[in-house]
Amino acid sequence: MKNKKIGWIGLGKMGQPMSGQLLKAGYPVYVYGRSEQDIQAMAAKGAVVSQSVLDLVNIVDILFLMVTDDHAIEDIFKSEAGVLSAGLTGKTIVNMSTVSPAINREMAELCKEKGAFYLDAPVSGSIKQAEEAKLVIMAGGEEAVYESIKPLFGILGGSSSLIGEIGAGNLAKLSINTLLAIQAQGLAEVVNFAEHHNISAEKMMSIINNGALGSVFMKLKGELIINENYNPAFALKLLTKDLRLAKAEGLDSPLGNTVYKTFQQAEAEFGNEDLIAVKKYL
């Protein structure tokens, strides 16, 4: 496997530490991104910078993508010098972005027509988990393709599993992120209620984290609330996007509808801040 050339498109907050794990493991990694700063950061770590998507895809054996939304995927695949313009026979494309199941199915079919293999494999976890290689990876696609990429998933995350056919990985991710939104709003409401009654966020979080309701999520987001630090580990606008995708897939439940409404309304003012900035909106 170490003789395989790996390509990575998307060098944002998650893409950099994730592709960095593959570099640390000794793989040759070719990268493409829009930000010169991000490109130079990866070059300093030993990545080879490609000048276009087409150049990168023609060189590599396995291509990973970690981008923001369906629009970015459309552009990367279908542009004049995009993925589908390259020679794809025998290559494997792993889309780790949180996007719609529908666009994964479409791109998988287009790649199959050109002789390539495809997985959708979004992750649960944020920057800290990416830096520590403790992401949870949920894949959709053929079992043989998943098994061929599984060793690389073992470098990127703490666990991975094949959920089902193409699109299933993203359906699982949208489910997880709906729970994420529910927990974030619940935490925000409880701390606001406590503060209204002169119980500090610090004292409230100590109670939560030392009891049955404590979790990694509660600890991390509680610390942000206490420190009034809303720099985005996962931006509120991205969680809103994921809720929008979940709604498009049929999410229609009391809590799901509630958090979708809340995050939609919070997005205009707090979209670029961390998702727990929903506390400030509420």
Residue ranges, CATH 3.40.50.720, the chain: 6-165
pLDDT at 210 over 90: yes
> Taking all residues of the chain, what is their mean pLDDT, rounded to a whole number?
97
How far is the CA of 227 from the CAs of 27, 144, 215, 240, 269, in angstroms?
A: 39, 47, 18, 24, 20
Which of 91, 173, 221, 237 is catalytic? The answer is 173
Please give the average per-residue pLDDT across 7-34, as a whole number.
96
Percentage, residues of the chain above pLDDT 90: 97
**Is CATH 1.10.510.10 the right assignment for the domain spanning 171-281?**
no
- Give tens-digit pLDDT for 36-60: 999 999 999 999 999 999 999 999 9
- Give tens-digit pLDDT for 249-260: 999 999 999 999
What's the fold here for domain 6-165?
Rossmann fold (3.40.50)
Burial of 151 (0-12, 13-18, 19+ CB in 10 A): exposed
Is 173 known to be catalytic? yes
How far apart CA 177 and CA 170 sit, in angstroms, is: 10
- pLDDT score, position 2: 73
* pLDDT greater at residue 35 or residue 219: 219
Sign of CA dihedral 156, 174, 275, 255: negative
Percentage, residues of the chain above pLDDT 70: 100
Residue ranges, CATH 1.10.1040.10, the chain: 171-281
- Give tens-digit pLDDT for 81-100: 999 999 999 999 999 999 99
- pLDDT score, position 105: 98
